[in-house]
Structure 1
């Protein structure tokens, strides 16, 4: 059995459902994924096409808050970001409606790491190390944040604590330190502030929490989860050995987003 086959067999028995988000127009992506995801039991979940959204109408209806009050110094969400956020929210709602214990959510631009023959074993151990009350588990993410720079350490332990004394909430030192992953067990870390939502597991309770946080939509899908991680609003973890990476050879359907720092191992 290949490493990929072993990983998919483990995922199939570990999650109640695997959802693959894809836009109806993205036939080329789904064709490529047939081979990549061969052996994985998944259901296609049709995503929301941001180009078809009327953001003004969504704001008037109370489904979108694009005022920027939650994310200062950030530009308003683009239609693509809103469509992506609504797609993930639709899956959370489906998890609750079906009474699923948990689910794995994938996006249609991913690849599987097949370079590590020991990955199936470490993934199985990762699942066994999760606490019963876990809300979210990253199987893929970008921006590792594995080490705090000397400047970051100075801010975390000296400058920010001083500024925080003057009621400057945005300089909350504890929140800043939680941007970086912390060791939890042999194969898991507590999640920090990471980009991308191309591969993560969510529990029923986790889906409920994110739905509450993102109603109305005020963040891009990955930023919403990361913000919850830094405020301890969600019990989130990440595997130390990533299973899924984004295929950066594919053009993003969300224009104008940042460059992925967690590059696929299949690119050089």
Structure 2
């Protein structure tokens, strides 16, 4: 992860995720008997990042999980996205799963030949999304009670109009997965091989096994 962000010239802060071994933390949010400990740890980790956004007074923050690959020209892509991103945004998905995005709404702007911004539909997964300060405030109140996986909670708030969300399609950040490098949260899940136009990891010598 550090090799990739260094090669892209990105200024990042590494946030230690909650471990499934941290029983004290998991028990603080132990109101859901439905979730596995891996899902609880993921949920709490993201919730604590929302709290950090608010406590530090950040205008926004991009949350990247540590198993991702990023478009090599991400800086120029995001310069365009920020020009067309509406001011009312709470969430911005740079990566997503399940192929729902971009199929139900017209793009916010149609001038880009490849990467377009759409209102979010059902942006499953949480490997790459930005949260505004206003969005973090909303999520701290809305997600204080842990019931289902965090990506489903976010989709529910999008569906209900509580948060305003947009998605980039095609995704500019994908999960770097292989059969011998499964998800920490859902290790038995089927591997989804989404590809990038120009992979940063490929450019620095990594390849799919």
Q: Structure 2 length as normaliser, TM-score?
A: 0.80
1:144 partnered with 2:99: yes
Task: Tell me the equivalent position of 1:40.
Answer: 10
The alignment partner of 2:123 has SS state of: coil
How far is 1:55 from its partner? 8.9
Contact 1:196-1:222 within 8 A present in 2 as well: yes
Judge conservation of contact 1:142–1:262 (CA < 8 Å) in 2. Answer: no
Structure whose alpha-carbon radius of gyration is higher: 1
Greater fraction of residues in helix: 1
Specify which of 172, 186, 191 is matched with residue 243 of structure 1. 172
> Unaligned 5+ residue runs, structure 2?
111-115, 200-207
Q: Is the 8 A contact 1:85 1:221 kept in 2?
A: yes
Aligned partners of 1:188 and 1:198: how far apart in 2? 18
- C-alpha distance in structure 2 between counterparts of 1:264 and 1:49, whole Å: 29
Equivalent-residue separation in structure 2 for 1:107 and 1:146 (angstroms): 20
Normalised by the length of structure 1, the TM-score is 0.63
Shifted more, 120-129 versus 131-140: the winner is 120-129
Q: Helix, strand or coil for the counterpart of 2:131?
A: strand
| Number of equivalenced pairs | 190
For residues 131-170 of structure 1, the C-alpha deviation after alignment (integer angstroms, 9 at most, x for no partner) is 112101011111122587xxxxxxxxxxxxxxxxxxxxxx
Q: CA deviation at 1:182?
A: 5.1
Q: CA deviation at 1:120?
A: 4.6
The equivalent of 1:66 in structure 2 is 32
Residue ranges of structure 1 left out of the alignment (5+ in a row): 1-32, 68-75, 149-179
For residues 127 and 78 of structure 1, the distance between their equivalents in structure 2, rounded to whole angstroms, comes to: 37
